[in-house]
Structures are given as structure tokens and as C-alpha cells.
């Protein structure tokens, strides 16, 4: 650091705010994509099953029944797109993201703040009519566009000191989490029936939907063999070195960011989190996939999920705990002051 510039440091509370703002927005984008894909690729006759998959991916079974909805397509759409009382809905996530953005106003750019404000207003105005027919896909597209606009504005305007690293850590952690959850649920649902040709085609369609859910359909097509297998899809989502949403890519980037925080900013508290990320990376690459699939992907993904949570906890302990004595980084977190 040059001698005539000062290191302003970063408040632990702001580091946490950046981490969570990114997580919430990442959630919105993933959820919007999943809703869109579910709508576009639902198999006639199995609509309710397809939509219920969304509930399972988000581990919302209990939450959903508590809200008093019936498990059909329209209620699940409402639960995620309209229900402000559901903490995992898009309106709630955006509300939380904006609340964090408000606490972060001294750090984030005016452009970022303006965009999230306008975005927030748009989400607040989504109504029942937007869930009908072709309107749903349009709304999902606008939601994804808005998060991506946020991402672009952030890329171009957020000052890249340590705060930016915490923002990226939040986004990557959430992304890895979402990808592995989706894979877990979908894989189990799709599991290999083999058999007749039309069955196989239907399965393929579903695997395509999974890939689209991770924004990886076209890239996968370019990489995969003509006759791809379920194992290839699993590989792509977990271990592909170039897919922006593969678990491995997210973990590698987290590792690198944590390393930068330690090296460039002297944050020695990163040590524990770096070890945790290394362990996670090893888990992701160590065993052959065939072996994992043979012994049970679900159990394996459980381990990955737990390790992701441990990593989040390490980051919380290392950097955020200071201002908030209780363990930070649980599933949902909005900073609030009395």
C-alpha cells in the first residue's frame, strides 16, 4: 500500500453485510432460474411433482406447510414469488438484500444502491397475474436480468478492497450450495430407470432441465459426448473446472479469495477458513465419480453440504464474530440494530 494512502480497514459488521447481500441476491437469481426451468420443462401429468422439487431443493417442506398452502403448482409459485411471509421467497430475499445494502450504503456505489432500490420496487409489484401463463417466464427473465445487472454494476463500480472479497465469498458459497442442493434432489428423483427408449428420452429432458437450472446447458453440450450419461452431468455440476456454477470452481475461487485476504490484507483469521476450503476441495475431487455414484450420491452430497456450512461458519468465526458474539453465518441473516 502506498505511503500516502491510508488503509481504511473494514468493519466486521460491514464484511458480514457484504457477504449476506451477495448471498441473498444469488439466491434470487438461482430461484428465478429454477422456477423458469421448472415451468418450461415440466412434464405433462407430473406438474405437481416438478414444482414440489423446488420445495425440496430449498428444504422448505415444513416452512411451506406452515404457511398453509396446498402443494400444487400455483401455490408453490405464490410461495416463492409473492409470499413476503416466507423467508425463502424472492420478495423476502430481496428485502433482506436491500436491508443489508442499506447498512452498506457508506461502502457500496451509488449505482449499486440505486439499482437495488429500483429492483426492490419491481419485485414489490409482482402480482398474481404475473404467475399466469407466459407472464411467469417473463418475470423470471426480468428477475435474472436484475440480479445480473447488479452483478455487472458491482463488477464495474465496487471498490476492490477486502470488502469485495467478502461479497464474492458470499456469492460463491451460496452458488455452490444451490448447485449441490439442486443436484441432490434432481438426481434422486431421476435415478436410473434405464429401460425403454421413451423413458430414456424423458430422463434426458429432465437432465437438460437440471443443466439449464445451473445455466450450464449449452456449455455442457459443447463439452459432453454425444451419448452422455447421468454421471457426466454430475461431473459437470460438481467438478467442471470452467462452469461458473460448478461446486469445484466456486470452492477454488473461495480458496483463492481467502488466500488473498490473508496475504494482501494480513487477515490471519483466514487460516481456519482456508483449511476448511481445502478440505472441501479435496472432498470434491478425491474419489472417482463412479465410486461415489455406486455408494450413494445423496450421502456424498450431504457431506459436501455439511462442509459448505462449516466453511461458512469458519468465515463467520474468523471475521464477523467479533461484533456479534453468537456464531454468525447461519442459514439466514439480516443485520439489525435495536
Q: Tell the smallest beta-carbon distance from residue 267 to other proteins (Å).
A: 6
8 Å CB contact between 120 and 25: no
- Distance in angstroms (rounded) separating the CA atoms of residues 233 and 206: 11
Residue 197 class from Cβ within 10 Å (0-12 exposed, 13-18 middle, 19+ buried)?
A: exposed
Residues 6+ apart with CB under 8 A from 60: 54, 79, 86, 88
The residue among 57 and 169 lying less far from other proteins, judged by its C-beta, is 169
Question: What DSSP letter does each residue of 17-48 carry, written as one string?
Answer: HHHHHHHHHHHHHHHHHHHHHHHHHPPTT-HH
Which residue's CB is nearer to other proteins, number 124 or number 296? 124
Residue 37 or 107: the one with the smaller Cβ distance to other proteins is 107
Q: Which of 196, 190, 180 is nearest to 239 (CA)?
A: 180
Task: Write down the least CB distance from residue 333 to other proteins, Å.
Answer: 14
Least gap, CB of 336 to other proteins (angstroms): 8
Nearer to other proteins, 267 or 284 (CB): 267
DSSP 235: H
User: Residue 138 Cβ, how far from other proteins at the closest point, in Å?
Assistant: 22
Of 169 and 251, CB closest to other proteins: 169
Contact positions vs other proteins (CB under 8 A): 6, 8-15, 99, 102-103, 105-106, 110, 113-114, 117-118, 162, 166, 261, 265-267, 269, 319, 322-324, 337-338
Q: How far is the CB of 19 from other proteins (least distance, A)?
A: 11
| Pairwise CA distance, residues 37 & 28, whole Å | 14
Amino acid at each position: 500500500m502506498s505511503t500516502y494512502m491510508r488503509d481504511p480497514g473494514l468493519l466486521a459488521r460491514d464484511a458480514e453485510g457484504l457477504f449476506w447481500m451477495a448471498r441473498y441476491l444469488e439466491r434470487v437469481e438461482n430461484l428465478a432460474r429454477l422456477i423458469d426451468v421448472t415451468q418450461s420443462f415440466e412434464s405433462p401429468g407430473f406438474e405437481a411433482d416438478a414444482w414440489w422439487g423446488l420445495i425440496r431443493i430449498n428444504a422448505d417442506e415444513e416452512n411451506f406447510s406452515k404457511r398453509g398452502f396446498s402443494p400444487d403448482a400455483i401455490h408453490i409459485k405464490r410461495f416463492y414469488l409473492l409470499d413476503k411471509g416466507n423467508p425463502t421467497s424472492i420478495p423476502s430475499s430481496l428485502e433482506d438484500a436491500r436491508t443489508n445494502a442499506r447498512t452498506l450504503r457508506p461502502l457500496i456505489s451509488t449505482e449499486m444502491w440505486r439499482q437495488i432500490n429500483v429492483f426492490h420496487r419491481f419485485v414489490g409489484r409482482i402480482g398474481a397475474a404475473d404467475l399466469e401463463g407466459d407472464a411467469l417466464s417473463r418475470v423470471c427473465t426480468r428477475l435474472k436480468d436484475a440480479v445480473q445487472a447488479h452483478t455487472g454494476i458491482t463488477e464495474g463500480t465496487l471498490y476492490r478492497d477486502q470488502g469485495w472479497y467478502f461479497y464474492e465469498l458470499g456469492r460463491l458459497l451460496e452458488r455452490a450450495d444451490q448447485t449441490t442442493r439442486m443436484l441432490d434432489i434432481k438426481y434422486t428423483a431421476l435415478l436410473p430407470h434405464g429401460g425403454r427408449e421413451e423413458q430414456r428420452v424423458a430422463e434426458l429432458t429432465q437432465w437438460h432441465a437440471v443443466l439449464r437450472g445451473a445455466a450450464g446447458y449449452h456449455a455442457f453440450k459443447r463439452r459432453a459426448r454425444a451419448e452422455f450419461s447421468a454421471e457426466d452431468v454430475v461431473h459437470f455440476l460438481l467438478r467442471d473446472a470452467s462452469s461458473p456454477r460448478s461446486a469445484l470452481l466456486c470452492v477454488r475461487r473461495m480458496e483463492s479469495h481467502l488466500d488473498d485476504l490473508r496475504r494482501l490484507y494480513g487477515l490471519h483469521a483466514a487460516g481456519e477458513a482456508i483449511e476448511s476450503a481445502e478440505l472441501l476441495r479435496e472432498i470434491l475431487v478425491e474419489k472417482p465419480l463412479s465410486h461415489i455414484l455406486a455408494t450413494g450420491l445423496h450421502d456424498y452430497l450431504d457431506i459436501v453440504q455439511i462442509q459448505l456450512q462449516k466453511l461458512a461458519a469458519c468465515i463467520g468465526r474468523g471475521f464477523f464474530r467479533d461484533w456479534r458474539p453468537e456464531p454468525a453465518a447461519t442459514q439466514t441473516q439480516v443485520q439489525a440494530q435495536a
